[in-house]
Amino acid sequence: METFVISLQRTPERHEQFRRNNAKHKRIVRVDAVDGNSRSLDDLREAGLVEGSPTYTAGAIGNALSNHQLWVYAAEKNVPITICEDDAFLHDDFAAEQEKLLQRLGDDWDIVLWGWNFDSILVAAPETSLSPFLMQFRQDEMRANKLSYLKAPVHPTLLRLRAAFGSLCYSISPAGAKTYLDYCFPLRPFAITIPEINFQMANAALDATMCSFYRNSRSWVCFPPLAVADNDHATSTVQPR
């Protein structure tokens, strides 16, 4: 499967760090991220990519457009792809485990998250759905333990995804790309609800829009994860500073 890492031209050090962190994975292709500071909302509205006045930072707009261009690629080429952000750490066995899990799914998937933000929740359900369940995590412990975890044997499974945040590493099928393009764009203001925890928030980033659609699409999550990220807001190119 083609695998891409999105990285801004103006932050080459982030891509170099990604390459060092994931030296075992040689075939990941760098794609220039869209710099949200270079795109005006008026131009994006005219192009049909933005509607109204969404509360996206310039970085969040750039992130959304970067994923958009790869979704278009997957839909037009009719190929599944994997997309990484440049702060992702991939498990040493990522490629082999990814292949096994996707073979199990066959064509029955739109998106598979290989990781998520550990400062938030994960709502999922067994493959044969009995009841959803809620997971919470300790991000500091993940950061401290990630390097040993990423080299240890792992036996992941796939769960039906209902809610998670973060787009650090995921695969999307051609059908999923078309479905998510239709749902997520144009970027627009609306409230995102997670009923399992009676939570509501404003749509302020693409991963939030995606989260609002997981339960209504053929979306899956890998557990335990095959990718993690420090999710450091101080160095983020998406979060406001």
Cβ-based burial of 168 (10 A; exposed 0-12, middle 13-18, buried ≥19): buried
CA distance 131 to 126: 7
How do residues 8-31 score in pLDDT, each as one tens digit?
A: 999 999 999 999 999 999 999 999
Alpha carbons 67 and 27: distance in angstroms, whole number: 19
| Nearest-angstrom CA–CA distance, 105 and 98 | 11
Q: What CA–CA distances, in Å, run from 151 to 28, 43, 63, 83, 146? A: 19, 45, 29, 21, 9
Q: Is the pLDDT of residue 187 over 60?
A: yes
- Omega within 30 of 0 (cis) for the link into 186: yes
Domain spans of the chain, in order of start: 2-229
pLDDT of residue 35 exceeding 70: yes
User: 233: pLDDT confidence band, cut at 50, 70 and 90?
Assistant: low
CA distances from 17 to 22, 103, 104 (A): 8, 31, 33
Q: Write down the pLDDT at residue 240.
A: 41
pLDDT tens sequence across 122-156? 999 998 878 999 999 999 999 999 999 999 999 99
Q: What is the pLDDT of residues 67-104, one digit of tens each?
A: 999 999 999 999 999 999 999 999 999 999 999 999 99
What is the spatial distance between Cα 177 and Cα 76, in angstroms, rounded to a whole number?
A: 9
Q: How far apart are CA 148 and CA 32, in angstroms?
A: 30
Average pLDDT, integer, range 184-193: 96
pLDDT at 241 exceeding the cut of 50: no
Rounded to 5°, angle at Cα 2 from 36 and 95: 115
Provide the pLDDT for residue 128: 80
How far apart (Å, rounded) are the C-alpha atoms in residues 60 and 62?
Answer: 5
- The enclosing H or E element of 53 equals none
Torsional class of 78: left (φ above 0), alpha (ψ -120 to 50), beta (otherwise): left
Widest distance between CA atoms in the chain = 50
Share of the chain above pLDDT 70, in %: 97
Nearest alpha carbon to residue 214 among 146, 174, 166: 166
* 155 contacts 174 by C-beta, under 8 angstroms: no
Residue 239 has pLDDT above 60, yes or no: no
The tens digit of pLDDT for each residue in 200-212 reads 999 999 999 999 9
Q: Which residue's entry shows tokens 């998937």?
A: 109
Answer yes or no: is pLDDT of 236 > 70. no
* CATH number for the segment(s) 2-229: 3.90.550
What's the pTM?
A: 0.95
Cβ contact 183:190 at 8 Å: no
In the numeric block, which tokens belong to residue 238? 């998406």
